[in-house]
Amino acid sequence: MKKIIKLTESDIEKIVKRVIKESDDDSDLEGEELANFIEADDYALELKDNLTEEIEFLVKDLLVNIDLENLIESYQYKFKERYPKYANTEIVNYYIDTLMGLKVKGGLDDIASMMTTSLMDEIYPE
């Protein structure tokens, strides 16, 4: 019987970082110093994860106070009022199609997660 182990993204990051560090022959760190460095690295990753969770919580808290679906619909309505001919046209236009195709998919958790991921990509560029 196979055992399924679920890993989070941070678990995978820790494993990859540890493997890279342990396989790096050029490293001047050895023994206890290497162990301390790995511990410090793990702690930095833990803090990054905590920061991500806190930002996601704050984003979700902000989204609770926004009726996102009605906000999107109001902007679509503004466009339809001004340019009814182009609101439902077969002509392909990126901005019009994007605006008119906006929908709230998923719940606040999904939206907050996507927004947080995008924000964290800017904070922690690779």
pTM above 0.95, yes or no: no
| 45 has a pLDDT exceeding 60 | yes
Mean pLDDT, all residues of the chain: 82
- Residue-wise pLDDT tens digits, 73-88: 999 999 999 998 888 8
| DSSP letters for the chain | -PPP----HHHHHHHHHHHHHHH-TT----HHHHHHHHHHHHHHHHHHHHHHHHHHHHHHHHHHTS-HHHHHHHHHHHHHHH-HHHHT-SS--HHHHHHHH----S-HHHHHHHHHHHHHHHHS--
| 99 has a pLDDT exceeding 60 | yes
Q: Where are the domains of the chain?
A: 9-123
